[in-house]
Structure 1
Amino acid sequence: MTAAVRLEPFRWWHIDEALPIEADLFGAEQWSPAMFWNELANGHHYRVATDADGTVLGYAGLAGAPPDEVWVQNIAVRRDVQRRGVGRALLEELLAEAARREARSTLLEVAVDNVAAQRLYAMYGFEPIGVRRGYYQPSNTDALVMQRDAEPTGDGPHHHG
């Protein structure tokens, strides 16, 4: 990743730049402006990756699921800057937020045919735990559910069985 990429809070004014990325990556399954507004209104943890000029390169979001889980809502990177570390930086930011929240598990859904994303998640300790049939509509694509458990904190004995 180049040093010029910055992560900052996702604000309402980023929605207009996020929408074309959504449309390109997710087609008919793209989020609407209202869905983004709802995520922001609910106080979910969203970040944008921008270049030196402030242009949005990608975005990602995390939502809490009490008592001790968090869900990656989305990670999206503009096609022309993929495979340059932007998605990795966004994922690392979400995992850092999960740790700040002391989440025991971080979960996500990823399309079964998105092998590149699955590989990235596996590199960060996510493991497949199930499939949601026909999750993505209208394409009826299945979603692979992946989970990453928190690292032991070293605050006491941990037994692995």
Structure 2
Amino acid sequence: MNSVVSQLPHDPVIRKMRESDLRHVILIEREIFLFPWSLENFADSIRAGYLCSVMEASNTLLGYSILLLGPDEAHVLTLGISAQWQKKGLGEKMLRYLIQQSGENHAKSVLLDVRESNHGAARLYRQLGFKQIATRKGYYPAMCGREDALVMRLML
């Protein structure tokens, strides 16, 4: 891969997801997840008024997230960074944004689920202060059946 292409874009911004973003969002989703959300899942999240965000730089969509804000807690429903931009701090930047938005909307905690096998994501969540509070048995579809989800919470 050309080193110029893989250089981190300057000043990625996080903004509200628009329906016009969905064709790019779904391409990233299908690229990074074996069992991706459908385009309709994302469209429904926008219509439901969830905090749907994208990260972009130089007119390139780098990642996205969906946060459900409840009265006292927020729940990260999904967060994805394009494969070519992973391991460059963008997932952490997006998660910090979601934590900030949760606090600004009076949440007392942020919840998320992560595949038991997704050690890199779980490590990032722990570094940011999330603690495992439960396990959801067989929560995720997997190639050979189902996979457990770690339920993690950050107290704000």
TM-score when scaled to structure 2? 0.89
Match of 1:42 in 2: 48
Give the Cα–Cα distance (whole angstroms) in 2 for the partners of residues 57 and 136 of structure 1.
24
Matches within 5 A, 1:75-94: 75-94=79-98
Match of 2:150 in 1: 144
Give 2:67's match in structure 1, choosing from 44, 62, 65. 62
Partner of 2:33, secondary structure, is helix
Match of 2:114 in 1: 110
Match of 1:132 in 2: 136
- Relative to structure 2, which stretch is displaced further, 1-10 or 83-92? 1-10
**C-alpha contact 2:74 2:109 (8 A) present in aligned 1:** yes
Q: Quick check: 1:51 aligned with 2:70?
A: no
Report deviation, 1:21: 1.2
Partner of 1:125, secondary structure, is coil
Long gaps (5+) in structure 1: 151-161
Aligned residues: 147
Give the Cα–Cα distance (whole angstroms) in 2 for the partners of residues 12 and 55 of structure 1.
16
Report deviation, 1:2: 4.8
**C-alpha contact 2:134 2:150 (8 A) present in aligned 1:** yes
Match of 1:159 in 2: none
Q: Which runs of 4+ in 1 moved over 3 A?
A: none
- Report sequence identity in percent: 31
Long gaps (5+) in structure 2: 1-7
| Higher percent of residues as strand | 2
RMSD between superposed Cα atoms in Å: 1.3
